[in-house]
């Protein structure tokens, strides 16, 4: 998701005074440690800390970047290729000024050649805008200069992605480019006639099928504005609202700090979708709190990582890829958000259940109510900050565009903040938010541009349809095996590819295979979207889990394993809504929806208990299997499966209760 908040990627954690009554527990991780941790797990965090003239140059470029998007959103977008070209040009400028060629060169001053290289990149990025009329009238008859600039544009996109996103996506995009050229040499159904370099370059850089394609188009419109909205909302202090609200709701309960982490991350998901940034931002205080209460370090880190990862599936904003789903499926964004609501609630419910029973198993209590803020006091002090979020939901529901909704959110975040002096933004706060939002959007812009190269190869060669047919053929036409192969593909890609690019690749290659087998279009795209997200917490490369492990000082691999157990719902629910689309509001009725929600919640209870291995007392291995089976039957909507699942869970609870009574009697 990738859509990060105003806590800078460098690891700027929430100030201690904003944490309220729990601030005394935050002392385990220093600012320097957070910055080093983010540099290791998040490529976007390894930027230059510029000073003097260099700092202010980059600062005002970022502000101009945001102003450009606000202006075009208010007074009309430029033609698609011009809008995307300017967007790419700004992104190039910030990447090549902020991010060094190698990780070791993180100096706080720019050299003369940095300016030259950045200026050249800006020219290449803006080339379409500067020559728009001539290129459009050329009808494909491009000049030699056009081809040189186009080739440089593709190479600069790959280099920018290497610096700010990571090497894996560069390798994948490069393989696709090589495939477009060496097509005749590939075996079987992968073979095609091949294309000359000039055709590849023109397709990749001068059409809306490559670098300047749909992914970058979505970044240049919806995504940027929502990232900017998140930056403005964070400047009002919405982070403190989420933390205090979670403390008031769950801080007193069994395992309170862990439940606070779940609720806080779910709330932050409404304005952010960056798994790693959320893990570090919230985890800097929730993880030490959980450890102090008595949770194992691996479990504490896993709770934060799995909950933060869920931010990308949490409506109303979700992650950047959700906007791409709307474009790729030609579905209104509000429909995407509505469809994701029940799966997101079930996901967080599953984590909440496991946290609760782990606390019960370990005998962990919550915090004293005297230490915690009061719910009504929190809402009185900062509740008005929910107004921009509620307004966005209303505007989207009324059928307005996401662009308009984001503008409304931006304006109301400033107005709502003025209500209370604690949340009021000064003019300089507004300017800083413009800068933060632009810088947070750079990684998404470059990831989208690079994903556009992959989409360009797919449209040029037709590999998407071929791969879809190939997957169906390998799976023998069986839907379950096709889903399984698609899941594995998404998880493997997610090991080093951002969710945005992961979704673009799998939606163009794997999702068509699901549609061929009769899966509704939206269900197919949400399926690959979900597994692209959970790759952030799935070993062996689980970046969000590793970020949490760095804070908890726990074993990274076992933190990833524990995160996977906590997020088990994300591995089950996509299969369920493919087989029964009513879970994502396709072909459902209000009564059926309520029944499905109740039974699925009961199912998550059974699965969560099985993952922890404790209900009233510790479970034997066969009890865990029994509860898991009963839970899965309940999650799958259907009267027959629901009846069997309820019966199994009822018998399981009865057996557990009697086991505890027997143990208590034996000890008397």
pLDDT per residue as tens digits for the range 313-360: 888 777 777 888 988 899 988 899 889 888 988 898 988 899 889 888
Helices (H), 398-520: 402-417, 427-461, 463-474, 479-493, 499-509, 511-516
Mean predicted lDDT score pLDDT of the chain:
85
pLDDT the model gives residue 90: 97
pLDDT in tens, 2-48: 444 333 333 333 333 333 444 344 445 666 666 666 666 666 777 88
Residues 107-126: tens digit of each pLDDT = 788 889 999 999 999 999 99
Mean pLDDT of 60-68: 97
pLDDT score at 273: 57
| 324 neighbors 504 (Cβ within 8 angstroms) | yes
Query: What pLDDT, in 10s, does the model give residues 504-555?
Result: 888 888 888 888 889 999 999 999 888 888 887 888 777 788 888 888 888 8
Burial of 465 (0-12, 13-18, 19+ CB in 10 A): middle
Degrees (nearest 5) of the Cα angle 485, 490, 494?
150
Euclidean distance between CA atoms 408 and 396, whole angstroms = 11
CB 449 within 8 Å of CB 216: yes
Give the relative orientation of helices 144-164 and 167-181 as an angle to the nearest 10 degrees: 150
Please give the pLDDT value at position 467.
Answer: 80
Q: Which of residues 248 and 1 earns the better pLDDT score? A: 248
Q: For residue 35, what pLDDT is reported?
A: 67
Task: Quick: pLDDT tens for 259-302.
Answer: 887 887 777 766 655 677 778 777 777 788 788 778 888 988 88
Band of pLDDT at residue 160, cut at 50, 70 and 90:
very high
CB atoms within 10 A of CB 341: 16
Q: Taking the model in full, what pTM does it have?
A: 0.84
Residue identified by tokens 């009865």 is: 654
**Res 74: pLDDT:** 93
Tokens 């691996």 belong to 298
Please give the torsion angle defined by the CA atoms of residues 485, 491, 496 and 499, in that order, rounded to the nearest 10 degrees: 110
> pLDDT higher for 193 or 250?
193
pLDDT of residue 106: 60
Enter the tokens of residue 126.
Answer: 């803006």
Q: Which residue has the higher pLDDT, 51 or 188?
A: 51
């Amino acid at each position: 998701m990738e859509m990060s908040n105003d806590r800078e990627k460098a690891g700027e954690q929430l100030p201690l005074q904003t944490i309220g009554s729990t601030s005394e527990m935050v002392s385990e991780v220093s600012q320097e440690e957070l910055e080093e941790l983010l540099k290791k797990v998040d490529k976007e965090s390894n930027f230059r800390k510029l000073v003097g003239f260099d700092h202010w140059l980059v600062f005002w470029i970022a502000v101009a970047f945001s102003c450009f998007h606000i202006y075009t959103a208010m007074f009309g977008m430029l033609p698609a290729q011009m809008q995307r070209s300017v967007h790419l040009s700004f992104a190039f400028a910030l990447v090549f000024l902020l991010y060094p060629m190698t990780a070791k060169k993180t100096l706080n001053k720019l050299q003369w050649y940095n300016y030259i290289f950045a200026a050249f990149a800006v020219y290449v990025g803006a080339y379409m805008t500067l020559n728009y009329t001539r290129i459009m009238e050329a009808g494909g008859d491009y000049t030699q200069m056009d081809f040189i600039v186009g080739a440089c544009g593709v190479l600069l996109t790959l280099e920018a992605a290497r610096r700010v996103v990571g090497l894996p996506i560069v390798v994948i995009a490069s393989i696709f480019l090589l495939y477009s050229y060496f097509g005749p040499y590939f075996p079987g159904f992968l073979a095609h006639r091949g294309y000359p370099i000039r055709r590849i370059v023109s397709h990749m850089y001068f059409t809306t099928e490559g670098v300047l394609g749909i992914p970058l188009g979505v970044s240049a419109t919806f995504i940027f504005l929502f990232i900017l909205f998140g930056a403005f909302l964070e400047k009002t202090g919405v982070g403190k609202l989420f933390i205090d609200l979670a403390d008031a709701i769950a801080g007193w309960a069994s395992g309170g700090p862990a439940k606070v982490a779940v609720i806080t991350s779910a709330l932050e998901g409404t304005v952010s979708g960056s798994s790693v940034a959320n893990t570090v931002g919230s985890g800097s205080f929730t993880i030490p709190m959980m450890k102090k209460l008595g949770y194992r370090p691996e479990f504490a880190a896993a709770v934060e990582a799995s909950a933060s990862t869920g931010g990308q599936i949490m409506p109303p904003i979700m992650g950047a890829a959700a906007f791409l789903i709307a474009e790729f499926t030609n579905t209104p964004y509000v429909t995407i958000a509505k469809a994701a609501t029940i799966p997101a609630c079930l996901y967080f419910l599953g984590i909440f259940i496991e946290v609760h029973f782990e606390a019960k198993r370990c005998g962990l209590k919550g915090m004293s109510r005297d230490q915690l803020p009061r719910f009504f006091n929190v809402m009185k002090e900062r509740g008005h900050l929910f107004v921009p979020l509620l307004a966005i939901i209303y505007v989207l529901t009324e059928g307005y565009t996401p662009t308009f909704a984001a503008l409304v959110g931006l304006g109301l975040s400033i107005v709502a903040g003025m209500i209370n002096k604690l949340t009021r933004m000064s003019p300089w706060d507004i300017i800083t938010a413009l800068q933060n939002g632009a810088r947070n959007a750079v990684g998404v812009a470059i990831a989208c541009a690079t994903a556009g190269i992959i989409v360009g190869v797919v449209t040029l060669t037709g590999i998407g349809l071929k791969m879809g047919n190939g997957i169906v053929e390998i799976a023998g036409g069986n839907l379950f095996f096709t889903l399984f192969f698609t899941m594995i593909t998404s998880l493997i890609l997610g090991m080093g590819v951002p969710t945005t690019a992961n979704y673009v690749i799998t939606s163009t290659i794997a999702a068509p295979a699901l549609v061929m087998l009769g899966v509704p279009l939206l269900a197919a795209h949400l399926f690959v979207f979900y597994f692209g997200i959970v790759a952030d917490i799935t070993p062996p490369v689980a970046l969000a889990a590793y970020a949490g492990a760095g804070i908890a000082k726990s074993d990274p691999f076992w933190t990833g394993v524990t995160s996977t157990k906590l997020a088990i719902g994300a591995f089950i629910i996509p299969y369920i809504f493919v087989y029964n689309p009513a879970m994502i509001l396709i072909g459902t009725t209000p009564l059926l929806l309520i029944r499905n929600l109740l039974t699925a919640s009961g199912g998550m209870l059974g699965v969560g208990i099985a993952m922890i291995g404790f209900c009233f007392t510790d479970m034997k291995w066969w009890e865990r299997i029994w509860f898991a089976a009963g839970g899965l039957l309940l999650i799958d909507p259907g009267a027959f499966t629901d009846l069997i699942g309820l019966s199994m869970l009822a018998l399981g609870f009865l057996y557990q209760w009697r086991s505890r009574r027997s143990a208590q009697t034996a000890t008397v």
